[in-house]
Amino acid sequence: MSQPPGRPRDASLHAAILDAVRELLLVSSYAELSMDAVAARAQVGKKTLYRRWASKAPLVAEAVLDAYGRGGSFSVPDTGNLRADLHTWLIEHGEFITEPANAKLIRALVAAAAASSGDSDALYEQLSVPQRSGLVDRVRGAVDTGALRADVDPDVIANALMGTLLLQVMSGPVAGSLVVEQYVALVDALVDGMV
């Protein structure tokens, strides 16, 4: 259980860098974000950035996912009432991505995924798999208890809910704003169509 030789990496820099990325993303898009600016704001050498992240895309991805993981990942509640649980989940996420700061971060993440040919799949998995699995599990549970028909595909439901949110956040603050009633209507339609 020994330590590799040499000076160990400064763990506090990690958080400082991710903070710098997020702060800069509030006022600039992914393309406008420069590694030099990140290094300058985090008071860090560029070498330190490239020692830890291969390029801008994974750095931005980690910065966004880090924030998302801390404040934006609402596990699907399980009160026994699927309809109410999905209402809760969708409204929570809808409010989260409506927050301009959060919307900017998510747009940056999409840009990071779309930027490089190779990394996009990995990034999307990091982002969507945890969210998806909560939803899928909750729906599958409802199927198992007989609350939903046996032939319901949980993936279909998860896709419709998450896709609605993604489309909304990518459509911009104006075009995509859905109100609570619309979230409710979506869940109602899906649930009523599945019973």
Partner DNA sequence: CTCTAAACGAGACGGTACGTCACGTCTTCGA
Partner DNA sequence: TCGAAGACGTGACGTACCGTCTCGTTTAGAG
- Answer for which of 9, 15, 31, 180 binds a second copy (CB under 8 A) is 31
Cα-based distances in Å from 185 to 15, 33, 60, 113: 40, 38, 34, 31
- The answer to whether residues 24 and 33 touch, using CB atoms and an 8 Å cutoff, is yes
- Per CB under 8 A, the segment of 8-16, 30-38, 62-70, 136-144 that binds a second copy is 30-38
CB of residue 170 to DNA, shortest distance in Å = 21
Residues from 114 through 173 that contact a second copy (CB under 8 A): 114-117, 120-121, 124-125, 128, 151-153, 155-157, 159-160, 162-168, 170-172
> Rule CB under 7 A: is residue 45 a binding residue for DNA?
yes
Alpha-carbon torsion (153, 113, 107, 105), positive or negative: positive
Cα-based distances in Å from 84 to 22, 134, 142, 165: 33, 15, 12, 18
- Per CB under 7 A, the segment of 30-38, 97-105, 154-162, 168-176 that binds DNA is 30-38
Q: Which does 166 bind (CB under 5 to 8 A by kind): a second copy, DNA, none?
A: a second copy
- The answer to whether residues 98 and 177 touch, using CB atoms and an 8 Å cutoff, is yes
Using CB under 7 A, list all residues that contact DNA. Answer: 2-10, 13, 33-37, 39-40, 43-48, 50-52, 55-56
